[in-house]
Amino acid sequence: MGGLVTFGLAASAALVALLSRAHAIGLIGLVFVIHGILVLVIGASARNLPFFVAVCVVGLLIMLGRWKAPPPQQILLLLALVLWMGLCVLLAPDEARAFFHYLRYAKAIALALIVMAICYEADGYEIIAKFLLVGVMLGAAFNVYQDLTGQHLLYVGWDPEQSRAAGLRGDPNDTAMILLMGLPLAWYFYYSWRQLFWRLVAAIGFFLIAAAIVLTGSRAGGLVMVAVIGLLFVRRPSMAAAIAGGFLVLGMMFWVADAYWERMNTLIEGEAAFGGRSLAGRLTLLTQGLSIFSENPIFGVGVGHFGGAFRDSLAVLATGGTSRGGPVAHNFYLEVFVETGVVGGALFVTVLAMSVLGLRQLDLTTRPRGARTPTLGFALMAGLLGMLMMGMTLSQGHNSVLWFVVGLGLAARNISVELASEGVGADSVREPPVAVAPRIGS
């Protein structure tokens, strides 16, 4: 039965691709966001659903000619990253293990390339963003459902208050990273939509996502959420936003379980009743990771071999790993540099930086000069920055949703160049193709 549902969803995606390119790529993003929920509902047959949907949509769009080759420099940059990682696989102690992890990176980078090739016009960006917001709101609602029903994926039997919701990925921290991407989108659509009903939907979505991030119990997620909200407020300060933020803080103070504040308190005291060695372990990972990098600066220790590089069993135990597999990096920047060396790490960071700058360029191109008007480019940039900040605490450098947004950022740079050449931008009298939110309130 699950297989039939999976086939039906993939076929439906192909039908959508026939009707609208933007809706098709948005559907791909939606499936990647809610993949964890689909696996829980449909079963194991949905594990490869994003791959089937992407193949159906992309194959059809290529046959229909609804794509455009990205600039050669972007293709060469991504190709260089893939090839260098492949070289590090050949030099790894365990090639089979390295190849398995390499495929995860290769698929994620290929996804970014596909998004770049299909998203070559600005008109569809808002449609894609709506699909992403729907996916994040579904994930947030599922987190709240888990908390209300007690069906946590990370359940602590001796203290239920410490149980953590993790519906989107099965891991609370990974779930928090994806949820963070949706906060700026809800903020943007609140100002962009003119009808009261849809503005109310966006406002509810914003608070729902914030609540879901707290329910993950992620300390980094909570801190990054505050940083992202602060960035949004700096972009468009208003009394209404300040009041809403005050209610959000008060709601967290009275509604959030004491266990979450105990976890946050470990950032200051360095101790916790549950998993209390995690912060000390992260410091050990960082210091020894840098030491291993200094010993293997060019080619690294091999893709997927970060944990295996910890030869000291005491260090393995201190970081929560096992003597067999070793710990994970809990920092995808550290992980990539240690596993692929300075060249692979530099290429990886360059791709991420180019994506952020591309979204920033789209923001500058589609808003009046000097105005604080919310734009979709800024919202996507803020969401991507939130995910990248979470990357300092997660080993999710191959995360599909992350690379989907990275692809949007790389495509945004190309779109900005075309808009600028057409005279669309801050000093143009034309309406920008990417929606700009009207000024509402103070």
- Count of C-beta atoms within a 10 Å radius of residue 38: 19
My answer on whether 208 and 296 are in the same domain is yes
Residue 322 has pLDDT above 80, yes or no: no
- At 329 the three-state DSSP class reads coil
When comparing pLDDT for 316 and 42, which is higher?
Answer: 42
My answer on whether 43 and 143 are in the same domain is no
When comparing pLDDT for 442 and 8, which is higher?
Answer: 8
Per-residue pLDDT at 413: 92
d(CA 308, CA 312): 10
Domain limits for position 14: 1-67
Give the position of tokens 């096992």. 322
Q: Can you list the pairs that 430-433 forms with residues at least 24 positions away whose Cβ atoms lie under 8 Å?
A: 432/122, 432/365, 432/366, 432/367, 433/121, 433/122, 433/123, 433/366
d(CA 186, CA 188): 5
- At 422 the three-state DSSP class reads coil
- Count of C-beta atoms within a 10 Å radius of residue 231: 17
Residue 35 has pLDDT above 80, yes or no: yes
Residue 42 has pLDDT above 60, yes or no: yes
My answer on whether 223 and 368 are in the same domain is yes
Highest mean pLDDT among 258-262, 274-278, 399-403: 399-403
My answer on whether 207 and 246 are in the same domain is yes
Residue 424 has pLDDT above 70, yes or no: no
Kindly indicate the confidence band of residue 441, based on its pLDDT and cuts at 50, 70 and 90: very low
Tens digits of residue pLDDT in 350-365: 999 999 999 999 999 9
Residue 95 has pLDDT above 60, yes or no: yes
My answer on whether 429 and 334 are in the same domain is yes
**At a CB cut-off of 8 Å and minimum separation 6, what does 73 contact?**
none
- Pick from 278, 153, 148, 275: which is nearest to 211 by CA? 148
- At 123 the three-state DSSP class reads helix
- At 206 the three-state DSSP class reads helix
β-pair partners for 436:
375
When comparing pLDDT for 288 and 349, which is higher?
Answer: 349
CA distances from residue 351 to 76, 82, 166, 379, 408 in whole angstroms, order as listed: 11, 12, 28, 19, 12
H-run or E-run covering 131: helix 125-149
My answer on whether 144 and 187 are in the same domain is yes
CA distances from residue 263 to 143, 167, 175, 402 in whole angstroms, order as listed: 19, 20, 17, 26
My answer on whether 21 and 125 are in the same domain is no
Judged by average pLDDT, the poorest of 8-22, 78-92, 214-228, 256-270 is 256-270
> Among residues 67, 87, 106, which one ends one of the domains?
67
Total count of domains within the chain: 2
Residue 191 has pLDDT above 80, yes or no: yes
Residue 251 has pLDDT above 50, yes or no: yes
Highest mean pLDDT among 17-21, 102-106, 289-293: 102-106
The tokens of 95 are what? Answer: 């090639």
Residue 275 has pLDDT above 70, yes or no: no
Tens digits of residue pLDDT in 8-30: 777 888 888 888 889 999 999 99
Per-residue pLDDT at 161: 47
- At 311 the three-state DSSP class reads coil
β-pair partners for 375:
436
Kindly indicate the confidence band of residue 209, based on its pLDDT and cuts at 50, 70 and 90: very high
My answer on whether 179 and 141 are in the same domain is yes
Residue 200 has pLDDT above 60, yes or no: yes
- Count of C-beta atoms within a 10 Å radius of residue 397: 22
Kindly indicate the confidence band of residue 276, based on its pLDDT and cuts at 50, 70 and 90: very low
> Among residues 10, 45, 67, which one ends one of the domains?
67
Percent share of the chain, pLDDT over 90: 43
My answer on whether 31 and 83 are in the same domain is no
Kindly indicate the confidence band of residue 408, based on its pLDDT and cuts at 50, 70 and 90: very high
Per-residue pLDDT at 280: 66
The answer to whether the beta carbons of residues 307 and 327 sit under 8 Å apart is yes
- DSSP class of residue 320 equals T
Per-residue pLDDT at 353: 97
- Count of C-beta atoms within a 10 Å radius of residue 365: 24
φ/ψ region of 438 (left if φ > 0, alpha if ψ in -120 to 50, else beta) reads beta
My answer on whether 433 and 374 are in the same domain is yes
My answer on whether 103 and 41 are in the same domain is no
Kindly indicate the confidence band of residue 243, based on its pLDDT and cuts at 50, 70 and 90: confident
Kindly indicate the confidence band of residue 158, based on its pLDDT and cuts at 50, 70 and 90: very low
Residue 430 has pLDDT above 50, yes or no: no
Kindly indicate the confidence band of residue 442, based on its pLDDT and cuts at 50, 70 and 90: very low
d(CA 146, CA 167): 8
Give the position of tokens 């200094």. 294
**At a CB cut-off of 8 Å and minimum separation 6, what does 337 contact?**
293, 300, 344, 345
d(CA 199, CA 137): 14
Q: Taking all residues of the chain, what is their mean pLDDT, rounded to a whole number?
A: 82
d(CA 402, CA 24): 18
Residue 82 has pLDDT above 80, yes or no: yes
Percent share of the chain, pLDDT over 70: 79
My answer on whether 141 and 27 are in the same domain is no
> Among residues 67, 89, 108, which one ends one of the domains?
67
